[in-house]
Amino acid sequence: MLEVTFYEDGRQRLSSFFATGHADAGVHGEDVVCAAVSAVLQAARLGLEEYERVDLAVEQKSGNMRLTVPETRRDDEGVRAILAAAALSVRQIAAQYPQHVRYFSGKIGI
């Protein structure tokens, strides 16, 4: 099961996401569900780093990705749009493949 959580900070701004696991919807290397979620999250990271020039805190290894946007950049229109689009995309994939992907939203104190 692939689980993805998007977090909001205390000011109700998307601030980070954490993905863990694998969708297990197909043979390793041919799992289109896992690939779809991975592509969305990687696109969000690239958009934030390359387009918005955000200095992200990122931890990434096989089966896990954690990304946090600095507090000072969370009000930027482009940052908000990229994170919102990623959250919406993952939520839609989870709705289509609930046996393989779970979407969560949470709150953090910072």
pLDDT at residue 84, rounded to an integer: 98
In 10 A of CB 33, how many CB atoms? 20
Profile the chain (110 residues) by mean pLDDT over runs of 10 residues.
Answer: 96 96 86 95 98 97 95 98 98 97 84
pLDDT at residue 24, rounded to an integer: 87
pLDDT at residue 109, rounded to an integer: 56
Question: What's the sign of the alpha-carbon dihedral 36, 38, 41, 46?
Answer: negative
pLDDT at residue 69, rounded to an integer: 98
Q: Which residue has the tokens 């954490």?
A: 18
What is the CATH code for 2-107?
3.30.70.1490
User: Domain extents for the chain?
Assistant: 2-107
pLDDT at residue 110, rounded to an integer: 52
